[in-house]
Structure 1
Amino acid sequence: MTAHKANEAGFGIYIHWPFCAAKCPYCDFNSHVRHQPVDQARFAAAFERELSHFAELTKGKRVESIFLGGGTPSLMEPATVERLLKAVADRWTLEDAVEITLEANPSSVEAERFRGYRAAGVNRVSLGVQSLQDRDLKLLGRLHDADTARAAVETARATFPRLSFDLIYARPGQALTAWEAELQEAISLAADHLSLYQLTIEHGTPFYALHQAGKLDMPEPDLAAEFFELTQEVTADAGLPAYEVSNHARPGAECRHNLVYWRYGDYVGVGPGAHGRVTAGATRLATSTERHPETWLENVERAGHGLIENAGLNEEEQGDEFLLMGLRLKEGIDLGRYETFSHRSVDPRRLKALLEHGMVEEIGENRVRATREGFFVLDAVVADLAA
């Protein structure tokens, strides 16, 4: 597979800031609480070194998106963010319309700090609101209340050209009517993008232990499906249809960085626990870094990177990943591009069966996408197409 084919979907940089003020009980992301101030200058220097390592692998590529994720990147000083963005710009050519997103929690939003991020070059913010109900914010372990979230959204809208925020639904004890009202309020607050996720119980989290002990009641599968259907209908009616399973936007306001992932483009991942997909020559590499922040820091200072995985993907693995990512999108996948990655064709009989069972649908010449029914069993759909 050529680098050109791998990069048809663009090229992005993901920078993982792993620190949070508190660990949410549902979260299985690589996030860490530190009770002493983080040495931001030392970490920024390590990010610069790891970026240099990847710049050597990706010479000539143009950056379409930069995403500062976490953790809670809004715990960084604006000067740290500026330093990281300069590090990217010094190592690659940025597209004129580069999208630069920073994740923020409402509890860490200050208007002055936000103006500092904007001055540093951030042009899109993603707020972890999660709920507009105080009771559920406490259940979810959030440090902000609903009014703080609303104020943070207003501050973000006044500061950045683009805004998104996250909400979690199908929460314990939540009624469909309550979610619909909350979603309508969210739409009224949102500028052009919402990320709406069903609450899932992830292994190793406090919620998992509570659920196993029978102390956390989750909606039954049929009710969870109703939440999903309601979410799709309300957002579509409001002009923010789903362009991916959990992401909704006005046309043209989709998150370009996440589209790089879902379209199976190349992206560099730096920082503790970051993942990447990078095409070097004729090889597509899966990369991941040391998860523990201080260990990652020491590794980078010693070796120039914190990589713990840097392995070439075989054709079957690339094909499977392409299907799993692309079938999440409303635009679906180009089966010809699947053949480019996997060096094999989809079995016409299996495709016909999935079409007849309503798991996928054709949306143009040689393009298919998962249906709503197919979303619920996406792993099985991918397994069938890849068989």
Structure 2
Amino acid sequence: MTAPAPLALYIHWPFCVAKCPYCDFNSHVRDSVDQAAWRAALLADLAHEAAMLPGRALGSIFFGGGTPSLMPPQTIAALIAAAAGHWSFAPDIEISMEANPNSAEAARFAQVADAGVNRLSLGLQALDEAALRFLGRAHDVTEGLAALDAAQRSVERVSIDLIYARPGQSLAEWESELRRALAFGTDHLSLYQLTIEPGTRFETDVRKGDFIPADPDHAAELFEMTQAMTAAANRPAYEVSNHAAPGQESRHNLAYWRYGDYAGIGPGAHGRRGGLATVRHRKPENWMTALARNGHGLCEERALEPAERAAEALMMGLRLGEGVDLRVLAARTGLSPNALVDDAAVTRLTGHGLLSRAGDRLTVTPQGMLLLDGILAEIVAA
């Protein structure tokens, strides 16, 4: 029998110094945090999840948020050590942490590396002072570049995040900014178009007419230029918004997109555990209360029907440049390959150059990636 793919572990730290106006992640601002209590609670939530997934090898750990670079390095070290006690580590385990480029956090990057983190994902978000102010970021360009230097000195693998398709951003401006970012030499870039998410301050601002989002046609031009520039710099897109040198893709995120098992702990964390969907309480205080009462932060644990699992796997896997193998997916879900997708829709979209099908492998073409959400809605079998 083939051994299961390595497990991925996600650890959510929900606290931020301030809420960014574009952010719809589970992040919270608190005047103070009881660090000892939070360390104990995360360790307890981890122990519960590990008991549900015994005997697995761990391929990646990802500290996300919120702002996990606000976590004390001692807490990071304790969680990594606990994970090593619960599971075996893959020899090349990837241990990532999201980080803000503020000076106080950058000063701890070396300690974070000593705690066991070997990959930093740095939220630069822009290389323009006015854009950083618009995005509500607490750092300026100089501080961001200093943090990038500190990250590159502390760990071998660094990724940077940038947001483009900002209001009024021209092709020439983004070309200059992206060319500068590519010259930094990081092996991974996450390049996201600005989207106006429900419930964010930006949604309110747009509704009030404070600014107008980028025109979709202009955003498409920016996207196409991004794909061309990153490919030319040997950082091609391997997912719709993620670019990496060959072999430097985020193994943790690939576990999601390839629909592997992953454990999620901390407030609001989701997981997929052998056909079960797990969800933890979002609000930090509710999560802590649940832990004290139940020994874990779960608020939902639900068995997924084969069709639902297949739909999720398709929606995740078709974001990847490699696409999905329908026969492999059928074997995992117990469905026939023909039951996974709407063949008529696949044939029609293939004719339009938006999809490619070679045997059992289905991929979205570069042109199709511009219309990914619509394509998924059409081809995923109901």
Return the offset for 1:350: 3.3
Per chain length, whose mean CA-contact separation is higher, i.e. which structure has more relative contact order (CA < 8 Å, sep 6+)? 1
Superposed counterparts of 1:343-382, under 5 Å: 343-346=335-338, 347-362=342-357, 364-382=358-376
Matched with 1:171 is 166
Superposed counterparts of 1:30-45, under 5 Å: 30-36=26-32, 38-45=33-40
SS at match of 1:19: coil
Matched with 2:10 is 14
- Check conservation: 1:164, 1:190, Cα contact below 8 A: no
Distance across 1 between alignment mates of 2:220 and 2:11: 34
Return the offset for 1:70: 0.4
1:311 paired with 2:302, answer: yes
CA deviation vs aligned residue, 1:81-114 (integer Å, no higher than 9, x gap):
1111112111111111100001100015555511
Instruction: Name which of 372, 378, 382 aligns with 1:384.
Output: 378
The answer for unaligned runs of 5 or more in structure 2 is none
Return the offset for 1:265: 0.3
Matched with 2:244 is 249
SS at match of 2:337: coil
Distance across 2 between alignment mates of 1:224 and 1:64: 35
Distance across 2 between alignment mates of 1:334 and 1:51: 32
Instruction: Name which of 100, 105, 110 aligns with 2:100.
Output: 105
Alignment TM-score, normalising by the size of structure 2: 0.95
Q: Give the aligned residue type for 2:191.
A: L
- Check conservation: 1:109, 1:152, Cα contact below 8 A: no
- Check conservation: 1:339, 1:345, Cα contact below 8 A: yes
Q: Give the aligned residue type for 1:178.
A: E
Return the offset for 1:374: 2.2
CA deviation vs aligned residue, 1:91-139 (integer Å, no higher than 9, x gap):
1111111000011000155555111111111000000110010100000
Matched with 1:91 is 86
- Check conservation: 1:74, 1:109, Cα contact below 8 A: no
Return the offset for 1:345: 2.3
1:292 paired with 2:286, answer: no
Instruction: Name which of 13, 19, 22 aligns with 1:23.
Output: 19
Return the offset for 1:386: 2.7
Superposed counterparts of 1:199-218, under 5 Å: 199-218=194-213
Return the offset for 1:175: 0.9
Structure 1 residues 186 and 109 mapped into 2: Cα distance closer, same or farther (>3 Å)? farther
1:301 paired with 2:317, answer: no
Instruction: Name the % identity.
Output: 50
CA deviation vs aligned residue, 1:56-87 (integer Å, no higher than 9, x gap):
11111110000000001111111111111112
- Check conservation: 1:78, 1:117, Cα contact below 8 A: yes
Distance across 2 between alignment mates of 1:383 and 1:29: 24
Return the offset for 1:299: 1.1
Q: Give the aligned residue type for 1:344.
A: S
Superposed counterparts of 1:181-260, under 5 Å: 181-260=176-255
- Check conservation: 2:343, 2:379, Cα contact below 8 A: no
Q: Give the aligned residue type for 1:69.
A: G
Distance across 1 between alignment mates of 2:41 and 2:7: 22
- Check conservation: 2:192, 2:241, Cα contact below 8 A: yes
SS at match of 1:69: strand
SS at match of 2:183: helix
Instruction: Name which of 62, 66, 72 aligns with 2:61.
Output: 66
Structure 1 residues 244 and 109 mapped into 2: Cα distance closer, same or farther (>3 Å)? farther
Q: Give the aligned residue type for 1:250.
A: A
Distance across 2 between alignment mates of 1:250 and 1:371: 20
Moved more, 113-122 or 335-344: 335-344
Alignment TM-score, normalising by the size of structure 1: 0.94
SS at match of 1:20: coil
Instruction: Name which of 325, 348, 358 aligns with 2:316.
Output: 325
Q: Give the aligned residue type for 1:31.
A: S
- Check conservation: 1:12, 1:260, Cα contact below 8 A: yes
Distance across 1 between alignment mates of 2:378 and 2:131: 39
Distance across 1 between alignment mates of 2:248 and 2:239: 13
Aligned length: 377
